[in-house]
Amino acid sequence: MAAYDRIRKGKPVVEADRTLSHSANFLLQLNGTKPSATAERALDIALILHADHELNASTFAARVTAATLSDMHAAITSAIGALKGPLHGGANEAVFRILATIDRDKADPVDYVRDMLAQKKKVPGFGHRVYNTEDPRATHLRAMSRDLGRSSGQPQWYEMSEKIEQFVKAEKKLNANVDFYSASTYHVLGMDEDLFTPVFAISRISGWAAHVIEQLDDNRLIRPRAEYMGPEYPNPYLVMEKR
């Protein structure tokens, strides 16, 4: 994917270096230069943190598809479709769009987010359906965002993020989730915004595959029931002329 991105931008393709790690090679082929040790470790940790996370939307979609005895490719495709959504894997793209707007307009991060809340807009990257405390993955990504920013001379992305996090936590009692600091981390690593979700998919592919295999080991069709909550029957029948 990194090589394709360079082709898309009209840049020469960089060959992999077999002496480097998977993460270092990805950044080498993406950016054209050997990454720093800090950048290499940051991507390596990010890939591990995103590898699996219980029955999230994309993993559940993969298992539902696998349960029909469709093939692995179809199950993974279902997962990717779910991951694309801005309430799932696409959330870090939405976070970075906010950061980029604040940076471009030289706006105050707290004032910008305060205005979002006043307009009843959702601030992406906060809250979680499972965690009531801080997402443990966010703990590591926060540190990576800080260290990368300092080592690369781009501390503003972390600093903006930190101010937003402190404000939202105080104002809405919401904690940052995995998506919030992955936005600034991925950007400083040299990834364009439209690569954020594909990199999430690269990370999660091992988790999806493991869940599909587990599903098929003792398979039952996943078929939840729906409970009708409409008006009680029988409803009076009206002829077409009176409807």
Q: Answer for the pair 16, 25: CB distance below 8 angstroms, yes or no.
A: yes
Among 128, 140, 187, 211, the one annotated catalytic: 128
22 labelled catalytic: no
State the residue for tokens 């940790």.
45
pTM beyond cutoff 0.85 = no
Q: How far is CA 70 from CA 103, 168, 210, in A?
A: 46, 43, 15
Among 50, 135, 140, 179, the one annotated catalytic: 179
What distance in Å separates the CA atoms of residue 239 and residue 243, rounded to the nearest whole number?
7
Q: Answer for the pair 144, 181: CB distance below 8 angstroms, yes or no.
A: yes
Number of H helices, E strands in the chain: 11, 0
State the residue for tokens 């993406």.
30
- 230: helix, coil or strand? coil
pLDDT tens by residue, the chain, 243 residues:
666 566 566 777 889 999 999 999 999 999 999 999 999 999 999 999 999 998 999 999 999 999 999 999 999 999 999 999 888 888 899 999 999 999 999 999 999 999 999 999 999 989 877 777 788 888 999 999 999 999 999 999 999 999 999 999 999 999 998 889 999 999 999 999 999 999 999 999 999 999 999 999 999 999 999 998 887 877 788 899 988
